Every structure is written in structure tokens, then in C-alpha cells.
Chain A
Amino acid sequence: MKSSSLIKRVIGALTLLMVAVLFAGCSSAKGASKKVVHISYWHVNAQTQGGASVDELVKNFNKTHKYIKVTAKYNPNMYQGLMQNLQSAQASGKVPDLVQVGWAYTNYFASNFKYLTPTDAQSKFDNSKTFISKNFTSRTLSFAKDSKNKLVGLPYSLSTPILYYNKTMLAKYGIDASSLSTWEGVSAAAKKIKAASGNYGLYIQEPADTWAQQALQLSNGAQIKKNGKAVFASAAGVKAYQFYQDMVVKDKTALHTPWAQGIDDFVNGKVAIAYTTVAQASHIKKSANFDVEAITSPHFAGHKATVPVGGSMLAITAQKTEQQKAAWTFEKYLYQNSSLVTWSKGTGYLPPTASAMSSQAFKSYLSENPMLKPAASQIKTAVPWTSFPKNGLQAEQTMIDTRDKILSGSNVQTTLKAAQEKINEQQK
């Protein structure tokens, strides 16, 4: 009794196994060339910051591409958070296939992770080999190059800092917005507002990077980096920072406070002018209960306005050819004009390709959101985000520390000089 039931069980199991093998054989025979490839795409867009458009794009792609299935994964805490997750993924050996990399991490990413450059992807998978050159200008591509001048990924989200102003307040104190095209003009306006109302005139964003402060120095003809070395403590660089410190410390016409509070103060009508990223446009528009407008980044008298670009690139981290090809296909889909416009509308970033920028859909979006126009016009002259070849993240921290010290009143020249030496020491 006992043994016969055992035999029955064994036979049953064997039959099941055979059927399974048969079916498996069937499916593999049929789909040998057309197996569904699964890839994962890591992004930083929370639901309120374009996450919905990521989902929409992925859904449409999966619908139109039968043999590729993309899964999008949201990484909290922006590019820094994504980089932290990517490290644990690398340590566990299970990396995603396509990732967004913030500009500040270009060199760190390039020297520590395995990735497929867009140039290699193009020559490996495309017949025509013109996708990159047809869609991107050489200036745009320069944003995504590492210190060895190698293209690490393709630029995906672009942003620039712009000058927002409280039109209602400026009109009240008789300040003409056209005077804000130079930093000297901004300072004069801020003085007038401070004297008349007691409110602050200016707030320059202070997140955990010195993007906006670099724009200030660059627009006085200074350079941040030259031949891989820090050179921001030049006479022009010192002068720009001195100007900023005077507004904060001496005149008290500019506000020095963390980013979120500074933007709150602007939308609550306590600061007349805010210098921050275009990505804040929709938040500012929604929260301000006064007329708000934006103009291009100011410059110092006698110099040209120069802004570093913000945002991210897409890099292929897939290791197998199959996945790399699928990631490249998905990437090309994301760079179609219609996809880029959806992306722009969802995030407030500017599209990276010339044809999307000049597409009818994007143009009509711009005319509905005039605050994005100055940012779009600046892209043509923007420069890459400063990324030092070695210890780049520590260099950025040094520049943040420098900003903190200068805005608390320490000597501009010696502080900048010390920071420059510290960074250059770490480049050896």
C-alpha cells in the first residue's frame, strides 16, 4: 500500500516534469529570436516632480515594443540618493540597465562604475550611426563629458538658473525690470526695496551645491576650473563673491538662508527677487499670490552672462548585450520629440535636443509658460557643470563650506584662496 502510493507519486511527478519540459521546449523553440527582454530604468522623479510623466512614457513604450519590458524605479533624494542606491546595487552585483546621473556625479560615475558610452551603443546597435550627431549639438554633448573628454551618457534634463521677480512689489517702488539685467542693477533695486519697505531685495539659492554662486562668478568673467585645476579665487572671482557678501553682510539687502526657506520667503512676498533654477518655476507660479515674472540670468557690467547647466544625463549600466540593446532602444524612444515634450511638461526641465526645442508642441508650451523662455534662451550659451576630475564630491563640499564662511562674514579673498588650494591639493 505504502510503496504503491510512492510509485504513483513518482510517476505523477515525472509526468509533470515531462510536460513542463515539453512546453518549455515549445516556447523556446518558438521565441528563440524574440524573447522578451526586461530592463530597469532608475529615475529620481517623485510623483510631484515628473514621476507621472515617467510612468506615462514607460507605459507607452511597453505598449509599442512587444519584446522589451521596461520597469521604472523611483529613487528618493534626487541624484545623490540614486547614486547611493547604485552603489549598493553594484556591491550586490545586480545593477539597473539605464540610470539618470546628475552632472555633479559625472566624473565619479565614470571612474567607478561600468557603463556603455552612447558612442559605443550607437556603433554597436545602429545601422546609420548618426543618432547622436543628428540630435545633439556639440555644446549640449559637452555637458555629459568627463574629465578625459569622454562622452559618459546623453544629456536628458537641462536646467539653468533664472531671475524671478515680484512684479507687484517692483512696480510699487518704481523699479524697472529692465534694470535687473546686471547684478549692479539688482543690487540697486534691492537697496531701494530695503530702504522703502524693510523687505529683502534678493535671495540666491543655497542648496547642497554652489551652482548659482558659480553662475555669479562666471558672469563676472571668472573661471571656476581651468585644465583640471580650481581657479575661482581669481580677481574677478573674488570681486563677484565680495559683491554677494556685501549685499548679505554689509547692506543686508540680500537674504542668506537655506533653499526651501528662501523660496518660501520669496513666494510670501518678503523677498523681491529670487535667483534660482527654472525647475522652481511651476512651484513659484502656483504658490505666489502676486504677479511674478522671470528674466535671464544677470551679468556684471562689462561681462557676459554665463550659467552652468543643471539636470542630468542618461547612462547605460546594463552589462549584457541584450539588455544594452533594449536600453538603447528605450533611450532613443525617450529622445523622440513627443516624449521629450511630455517629459518637459512633467518636470519643468528643458529638452536636450534641438529639434524638440524648436518643435511646435514645445513652442506652444513655452508660450503658455513664459517663465521658461529665459531659461531656454540661456541653454545656447550655457557651460558644463564644474566637475573636478578627482575627489569631485569633496571639492563641491569645499565650495559649499566656502559659501557658508563667506556669507557669515569671513574674508572673501583668503577664504576663496584657501578653498582653491584645498581642492587643487586633492587633484594630485
Chain B
Amino acid sequence: MNSRSSKKNKFLTFAYLAPTAIILLVFMIIPIIYTLYLSFFDWNLIAPTKDFVGLENYISIFTDPVNQKVLLNTVFYIVLLLVLNFLIPYFISIVVKFFIGKMQSSYKIIFFIPSLFSLVVGAMLFSWIMNPVSGPIAFFMRQLGVSLPNWTNSGAMAIVVLCLMTNWKVFGYNFVLLLTGLGSVPQNIIDATKMDSIPKWRMIWDIVLPLNKSIAFYVLILTIVQGLQYVFTPISVITQGGPYYGSSNVLYHTYLNAFVLYKTGNASALAVITFLIFLVLLYLEIKFVEGRADRYE
């Protein structure tokens, strides 16, 4: 290759990358840098002056009891979302794939339907269905002689119910992704295990799960990152983070600080911390999964 064509090639590479790069720059990278910048100031979004406060916003995140509570809630949310939106769909997709076999496509459709609905509609529906005083579930439970606890008054219960709402929305999508992944495991290997009469659970544990790792990993990350964003909608519609921040998480708290209280500095600091936590989580997961991969290669 002569130098001219390689120059042209370079130019073309940049030209083809430019549209994506510009969009990424304008809508992702610059805002992230600006957020980092704002996190050192006390500002209300429109005042002409920004007061430089140094690390004060960051210190308040770790010393303010409300922020601590919100961070703890976030951990609780992540654990719950992992169980509800990752482990359970994974388990069910394995059951459907290897133990039921029939009607796979009908399950796909049935589970997928809720993810077509808007979460706002879902949240309003659930808030009616789960109304502890006058909702239908409360009515049936009363017929059985038990009363539905007032879940909006307890942070932990509210978190569980809000997670169930996102579960309703996300379950089908994650299920379909995982099931498709399981479908791509080569049939001849599975047939071979049958020939060798290896028990099914060993086949799944030692062959299917490792082979399906990349899809599972993708869904896992999606569950954490997207799940926390999805759960924002029912929080905003139903509890507004209450009772006393009991059902709030970092994303909702960032929104509250930024666009309800107009404390841009606190909100930016929270956003930066969230960004870092996600970054670490991603790094750990990649490390963990890559590390395990060596064993099978």
C-alpha cells in the first residue's frame, strides 16, 4: 500500500467514525465533563454566578444521613433487581428450554407482552391493584381474613413493590434474551451429553452456563444499569422517594436535587459518584467473567 492510499484510508476512517463520534461527544462526553465541573460548585441552574465550594458536595454525600440512606437503598435495589430480573428469568428460561421444550414461542410472547407497555401506565395500574386499603388484592386478602400491609409507609416494602413493577416490565425482555442465548448452544454437544448419560443439571452447570456466559453477562449488566433507571418511573409516580427517602435511590435522588430543589452541585456530585460506582461494577464484572473464561478455553 502506498502512502497516499493509507492517508486516504485514515481520512475515510475518521469520516466514517465522525457522525457517531460527534453524537457521543455532544450528548455523552461533554455533559459528563460538565457534570464533573458543576459538582464543585453551588449553583441553582440559572443564577448568573456559581459559587466554588471545592469538595463540599462530595463530603456531604458521605456524611449526610439522607444521602447515606439513599446509597444503602441503592444497594438493596441492586440486589433485589438481580434476583428478580436476572436470576429468576434465567432459571425460568433454563426450565423452558431444557425441561419443557414445548410451546417455547408462546411463553416468549406471553412474557414479552408487558414490556411493550409504558412503565407509567404500569405504575398507575399497580398502584391501583396494590392499594392496601381499597385495591382488589387488599379486597381478596380481606376475604381471607388477612390485611395487606400499607407498603407505601415502609421503605423496605415500598422498594420490594417498586422492584416488582419493573420486574413486570423487564422480565419478558430479559427472558427472551436469555432463552435465545440458550438456543445458540450447539445441539451436538447437548446430544453428546445425552449419549454419555450425563445428568441434566451437570450438563447445564458445566456446559450450557459457561457457553451462554456472554449473553448472561450482558443481561446482568443491563439489569443493574437499566433496572435502576427503570425503577425511577414508579418511584416518581407513586412514592416520590418516600417515606422519608425510604424508597429513593441514587438516580431519583439526583433528579430530586437537580430538578426539584435546583441544587445542581449536589446533584452533579451524586451523578459523578453513581458514574464511578457503575464503572467499578462493570470493571469487576468484566474481570470476574474474563477470569473464569480462562478455565474453559
Contact = CB atoms under 8 A, between A and B. Distances in A.
A91 B46 CA distance: 7
A112 B239 CA distance: 30
A91 B264 CA distance: 14
B243 A408 contact: yes
A260 B244 contact: no
Interface string B116-147: 00000000000110011110000000000000
Contact of B243 (A90, A113, A404): A404
B134 A270 contact: yes
Contact of A260 (B127, B242, B262): B127
Interface in B262-283: 262-263
B46 A112 contact: yes
A393 B267 CA distance: 15
Contacts of A269: 134
A257 B152 contact: yes
A388 B250 CA distance: 27
Contacts of A407: 153, 243
A11 interface: no
B259 interface: yes
Contacts of A255: 133
B100 interface: no
B133 A258 contact: no
B244 A264 contact: no
A80 B239 CA distance: 17
A271 B242 CA distance: 22
Interface in A232-286: 255-258, 260-261, 264-265, 268-271
Contacts, number: 65
B128 A393 contact: no
Interface residues of A, number: 30
A261 B152 contact: yes
A394 B263 CA distance: 9
B150 interface: yes
B103 interface: no
Contact of B133 (A270, A397, A405, A408): A270
Contacts of A270: 133-134
Contacts of B113: none
B64 to A, nearest CB: 12
Given A108-B262, A394-B263, A407-B243, 13 more contacts: A87-B45, A91-B46, A112-B47, A113-B46, A258-B242, A260-B127, A261-B152, A264-B131, A264-B134, A269-B134, A270-B134, A404-B244, A408-B153
Interface of A: 80, 84, 87, 90-91, 108, 112-113, 200, 208, 255-258, 260-261, 264-265, 268-271, 393-394, 397, 401, 404-405, 407-408
Interface of B: 44-47, 127-128, 131-134, 150, 152-153, 238-240, 242-245, 256, 259-263
15 contacts: A80-B259, A112-B46, A256-B150, A257-B152, A258-B238, A258-B240, A261-B127, A261-B152, A264-B131, A265-B134, A268-B133, A393-B261, A394-B261, A394-B263, A404-B243
